[in-house]
Amino acid sequence: MGGQQTKPNLMKNDAVSTLYEERFTIERDLAKYDLSQCFENLVFEGGGTKGTAHVGALMVLEDLGILDNMTRFGGSSAGAMLAALLAIGYSADEILTFLYSDTKKIIMDSKCGYLSLLPSLFRHYGWIPGRRLEIWFKMVLASGPRNTLCPKTKDKGAITFMELYKATGIELCITATNVNYLTVDYFHPKTTPDTPIYKAVRMSMALPGFYRSVKVERSIYLGPDHIEKANDLFVDGGLICNYPIYVFDGWWLSLTPENQFLRRMRPLSQLHKFYDFKERFGTVNKKTLGIMLYSAGETEAVKEALDTRENSGPAQRPNTKLARVRTEAMIKKRRATEIYDQVLKLMDRFLQCLDAIQPMILDVQYDVKTVKDILSTKFSCDELSFMFPGHKGDLDKIIAELDENSDGKLSLPEVISFIEHHGIDLQKGFLGYGRRDIENLGDFIHSLQQTLSVNIKKMTVKPEDVERTIGINTDYIETTDWKMEFEDKRFLINCGVNGALSFLLEFIDKNKDHLPLKKDVYRSQRQQIVDETQQPNQKVDAIVNTDKALLDKY
């Protein structure tokens, strides 16, 4: 095994005073209420490198005794790995140690680097093999606290969904995208009892283009005495189900006797009807708690609602390279947005003036002399220069630009063409989503995945799901920021703490009349992280410092 290294303390900084002096009062007040019975299911959204923020939220849930009562865990993509770690019994502290480790050697196991990119894309539909990730995660599962309760097998890292459930009563659900059937597959003790957990997590994390897709052999019925073997391809669960908040709703994954498949799905001739989403997941489970991640630059269907919570904003930005670069970009974008908003207001005034003369219908025609009078009397020279850049308020040049066909009339299509020529896309603006720059293959893949995720989330994430969702604003940190510094990770943890406390404050405010009070005195369990004399977790260190030679075999 590699030698132990001194780990910097992710919570030992100036933010400690925020979390354990100012926010200690908040946690102490929250701890007056017994929240342990409020939630039983915990679901994580995928988020790539933003996933570190999940741990900050877990620290709060663990401190307040909420995490101890969870018996069902679910997740997609990076959230799938976190759900599996919790299901196998790891604490927030131990997961934090995993995140501190140098995972680049585990994640990036392409032997020839960029030289293998195109060959791997054509042959395996992905660049990175992901073999090291599988081996490493099997070792993590094999050392999981709850794995000791499972039957002794030769390969404890290959523990299945049903083995975990039978030994511990813990249900785990991992989502992955089945490319052959164009659907989401739910890996769970009920649906895939004999599937190894590590394999499902690997499928769920197979980011298209980055990781190679995972092949699973299936039997296909083609007629009497005609059954063929075929490989189904699985990729990232986040592709079409990045926030599986609904997986424990309805009856589909319920293990109660009355909800067994052969009892519910009759007659078999009408089997297709039971695959309707509302039929399977229609009844909301109020015991489910979800954690959603979103950055300042990302689009989320419920982002605005989550951001309205008190103290829901991100933590204070550190002085890191990534933070500085993103801050500068955000300042430029903010300035551009302010200018854009001013132009919108001026254009709106212009349209109102035209509409007052004659209602704006498709075949409307405005005399250019009338338009010139409006511009000269209703707008200042500075405003005209702002609306019509490059003309310095010269009305003759402005009219010439507006009247494209020089017929002395201004039509509605000419008005719309002029507005959009100046960067105001009326249709996209109506949808409410901002434009994203695509500068490389990584940006393209990430944007493509988010396009699918955002639009599918509109159908699967309901407005009422906000009430059971911890929203974590990761600010400047995006999904694929692999080169984070230590301070960036610490920032994410504090963002997670903020999001969890903000949610719980709102939850208690709405439900305090029905919540039982605790009698014991609150003391933060997180003190061991704050303490500089903290002893290293040797069990986790042994996994983190896995013999490099072992991984190099793959």
Contacts 24+ apart (CB under 8 A), 447-452: 448/208, 449/207, 449/208, 449/236, 449/238, 449/239, 449/242, 450/298, 450/299, 450/479, 452/239, 452/240
- Separation of alpha carbons 95 and 484, rounded Å: 17
Residue linked to tokens 């992710």: 10
Contact 550, 542 (CB under 8 A): no
CB-based contacts of 374-382 (< 8 A; 24+ apart in sequence): 374/350, 375/350, 375/399, 378/349, 378/350, 378/353, 379/346, 379/349, 379/350
Residue 130, classed as helix, strand or coil, is coil
Residue with tokens 């099997």: 138
Tokens of 219: 């039997």
In DSSP terms, 221 is beta-bridged to 227
Token match 């307040």: residue? 64
Polymer length in residues for the chain: 554
Whether 244 and 76 have beta carbons less than 8 Å apart is answered as yes
Question: What's at 350, amino acid-wise?
Answer: F
Judged on CB neighbours under 10 Å (0-12, 13-18, 19+), 307 is middle
Q: Say if residues 414 and 371 touch (Cβ distance below 8 Å).
A: no
What does DSSP assign to residue 278?
Answer: H
Give the single-character DSSP code of 404. Answer: T
Q: Would you say 171 and 151 are in contact if contact means Cβ atoms under 8 Å apart?
A: no
Catalytic residues: 77, 236
End-to-end CA distance of the chain: 17
Query: Which amino acid appears at position 318 of this protein?
Result: P
Angle at 60 between CA 84 and CA 528, to 5 degrees: 90
The β-bridge partners of 171 are 72
Q: Where does 114-196 have alpha helices with state H?
A: 117-124, 131-142, 161-168
Do 329 and 321 contact (CB within 8 A), yes or no?
Answer: no
Q: Which residues contact 285 (CB under 8 A, 6 or more apart)?
A: 41, 248, 249, 250
Q: Take residue 521 and report the two structure tokens written for it.
A: 């005195």
Q: Of 15, 68, 88, 53, give the one whose Cα is nearest residue 470.
A: 53
Q: Are 200 and 176 in contact (CB under 8 A)?
A: yes
CB-based contacts of 363, cutoff 8 Å, min separation 6: 411, 412
